[in-house]
Amino acid sequence: MTFSVMVSLLVVVFCLIIDNEISAIADGMNTYFGAVFLSAKHIFINADTSVLEGACPGLKDQMLELSTVVSYFKILIIISGLGYLTAILQKLVVWRLKDNV
Amino acid sequence: MGRIGLECTIVVVSACLLILDIQNQSNPLITEICSEVIDISPEETLIMDRIYSYVTQTSSLSFQLLTSALVCLYSLMMIVMLQNTQKLGELIMMVNHMISELQKFITTFGLMIIIFIIVGRLLNAEFKTEESSIFQIVLDIFDGLNGK
């Protein structure tokens, strides 16, 4: 049970880190483009080259960082999902066989 | 029964997240524009395209929605598991008791506290120009409440 709580807590922490990373990307772009970057794509498309030279390196680093976090998150979700699937199967077997072995 | 339902939901949402990952969606907006000013390797292009598609998805089954759902479900699961333990159950009961006592305290003294804060802030903003001792401040607030 303690292990399950720890895994759940870890998942929540990873989600918070992902949220923080996405917010950091949006904030970083807002300082360069002065607009809501994720919804106003035309500003990015029509941006001047000097602005892009300032914005793109940071954006690239942040996106790669986010990708690392997301990859770890996916591994955690797979392992955790398999654990819960096993728990469900165990309960079904106990219920079907009426045996608490 | 409720716990099995919660576990089933977690498995289904996790599966949806994996299906979303297998679909291999990509949005090349960032890499197409940024490749004009910086060097981006093909591997980095793939990663950035996928991550940008995750961030900007607006469909009903988006990465953000699934992640939020997972946070809610795992938080519920933690609460369910923690409620099962006797020791933590007592602690939760104690916290509930403390909350009810705090509510009683705020119901009784809340208006007085709010008035003290408002009068104190008004005094500080309008009348106080030099530093005073705490006793003097309390005295001023008391006088303010009494209309002196």
Q: What is the pLDDT of residues B16-37, one digit of tens each?
A: 888 888 887 788 888 888 888 8
Same domain assignment for residues B110 and B128? yes
Structure tokens at A89: 């199967």
Same domain assignment for residues B43 and B68? yes
Domain boundary among B84, B107, B123: B84
Domain boundary among B36, B64, B84: B84
Same domain assignment for residues B118 and B65? no
Same domain assignment for residues B61 and B103? no
Q: Do residues B26 and B49 make contact, with C-beta atoms less than 8 angstroms apart?
A: yes
Same domain assignment for residues B98 and B80? no
Would you say the ipTM is above 0.90?
no
Which domain does B72 fall in, by range?
A: 1-84
0.80 surpassed by pTM: no
- Asked if A49's CB is within 8 angstroms of B36's CB, the reply is yes
pLDDT digit string (tens) for A7-46? Answer: 888 888 888 888 888 888 877 777 777 666 666 677 777 7
- Report pLDDT for B101: 92
C-alpha distance from A90 to closest chain B C-alpha (Å) = 11
Residue in B8, B10, B45 to test binding to A, most A beta-carbons within 10 Å: B10
Domain boundary among B36, B67, B84: B84
pLDDT digit string (tens) for B33-50? Answer: 888 888 888 888 888 888
Same domain assignment for residues B80 and B138? no
Question: CA A66 to CA B129: how far, in whole Å?
Answer: 52
C-alpha distance from B120 to closest chain A C-alpha (Å) = 38
Closest partner residue to A84 (CB to CB) among B11, B36, B37 is: B11
Given CA atoms B125, B128, B132, B136 in this order, what sign does their dihedral have? Answer: negative
C-alpha distance from B91 to closest chain A C-alpha (Å) = 16
Residue in B65, B75, B78, B88 to test binding to A, most A beta-carbons within 10 Å: B78
Tens of pLDDT along chain B (148 residues)?
Answer: 677 888 889 899 889 888 888 887 788 888 888 888 888 888 888 888 888 888 877 777 788 888 888 889 888 888 888 777 766 667 778 888 899 999 999 888 988 888 888 887 777 776 666 777 778 877 877 787 777 6
- Asked if B84's CB is within 8 angstroms of A1's CB, the reply is yes
Same domain assignment for residues B97 and B77? no
Contacts of A84 in chain B (CB under 8 A): 7, 10-11, 14
Q: Which residue has the higher pLDDT, A73 or A6?
A: A73
Structure tokens at A6: 């720890």
Same domain assignment for residues B67 and B22? yes
Neighbours of A62 (CB within 10 A): 19
Question: CA A61 to CA A65: how far, in whole Å?
Answer: 6
Query: Can you say how many angstroms the Cα of residue B120 is from the centroid of all Cα atoms in its chain?
Result: 31
Which residue reads 């009903």 in tokens? B60
Contacts of B85 in chain A (CB under 8 A): 1
Query: Can you say how many angstroms the Cα of residue B45 is from the centroid of all Cα atoms in its chain?
Result: 33
Same domain assignment for residues B2 and B24? yes
- Report pLDDT for B144: 74
Any chain B CB within 8 A of the CB of A67?
Answer: yes
Same domain assignment for residues B98 and B117? yes
Question: CA B147 to CA B130: how far, in whole Å?
Answer: 21
What's the total number of domains in chain B?
A: 2
Angle at B35 between CA B32 and CA B38, to 5 degrees: 155
